[in-house]
């Protein structure tokens, strides 16, 4: 989470870096899994 916290500043008292990390993982999963399935 530290790389995301370095890039994204907190908004008031709310730290949105966990949400951004989850969205990035979901995007990566949606892009990488179809590519891997195509290789099998």
Express each pLDDT in 5-19 by its tens digit.
Answer: 888 888 888 889 999
pTM (whole model) above 0.85: no
* Residues forming a β-bridge with 14: 11
Nearest to 20, CA basis, from 31, 29, 8 = 8
The reported pLDDT for the residue numbered 29 is 92
Residues 6+ apart with CB under 8 A from 20: 4, 8
Residue range(s) defining the domain that contains residue 31: 3-38
Structural domain total, the chain: 1
């Amino acid at each position: 989470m530290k790389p995301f916290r370095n890039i994204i500043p907190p908004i008031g008292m709310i730290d949105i870096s966990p949400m951004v990390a989850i969205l990035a993982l979901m995007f990566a999963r949606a892009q990488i899994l179809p590519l891997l399935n195509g290789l099998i």
